[in-house]
Amino acid sequence: AQTVTQSQPEMSVQEAETVTLSCTYDTSESDYYLFWYKQPPSRQMILVIRQEAYKQQNATENRFSVNFQKAAKSFSLKISDSQLGDAAMYFCAYAGNTGKLIFGQGTTLQVKP
Amino acid sequence: NAGVTQTPKFRVLKTGQSMTLLCAQDMNHEYMYWYRQDPGMGLRLIHYSVGEGTTAKGEVPDGYNVSRLKKQNFLLGLESAAPSQTSVYFCASSYPDGLETQYFGPGTRLLVL
């Protein structure tokens, strides 16, 4: 069975600085997708970024980028130029052949002004 | 487009009572999902549907039933609510386009006394 692990329950970053959130996963599948979702206090789940496993190039979305290491089964999220609105819980998620999402436990990000 | 909507937003039940949570999507998505989120945890899949008239069990299906009579609606039922079902429930939908991106509703907070 696939698993997703986020080993950092809480992280903090100074406004305008860069922070990296860690995620590791375990799978025997070769084709899959990885996601980072943001959950602000409103509880709405917002897709931040997506990575297809067959793509070697790391995905980027404006200030958000990932470091995808397939052999190490690692998928970290880097947030550059952190903003107060980035404060939220971030979830790493895996989707394999079934399409069902498996979530990590989440990392709460605090952004300090 | 309203996207994915959920009703109600909040509900209090007494142990043993029943209720139905409604999820609706207007994106013509084939797949729909119900998750629960407990404090400090990621989302866990309860049931899902890959098309009208079809449902399947997820990771934590016990105590819940679902129905997908119409493509745009996915109902989650609790026949006899228990305090352990106190949680935030999220509905999501996706299209089988190979991108596996799920779009989430705003969540329903359920308190079982």
CB-based contact, A24 to chain B, within 8 Å: no
pLDDT at A100 over 90: no
CB-based contact, A4 to chain B, within 8 Å: yes
User: Is A2:A24 a contact under the CB 8 Å cutoff?
Assistant: no
Tell me whether residues B101 and A44 touch, CB distance under 8 A.
Answer: no
B89 CB neighbours in chain A (<8 A) are none
Residue A42: closest C-alpha in chain B = B106
Per-residue confidence (pLDDT) for residue B80, from 0 to 100: 96
**pLDDT tier at A48, thresholds 50, 70, 90:** very high
Residues composing chain A: 113
Termini Cα distance of chain B: 36
pLDDT at B99 over 80: no
Pick the closest to residue B8 from B75, B99, B97 (CA basis).
B75
Residue B89: closest C-alpha in chain A = A43
pLDDT at B112 over 70: yes
Q: How far apart are CA B19 and CA A105, in angstroms?
A: 28
DSSP tag of A9 = S
DSSP tag of B85 = G
Predicted confidence (pLDDT) per residue in A74-90, tens digit? 999 999 999 999 999 99
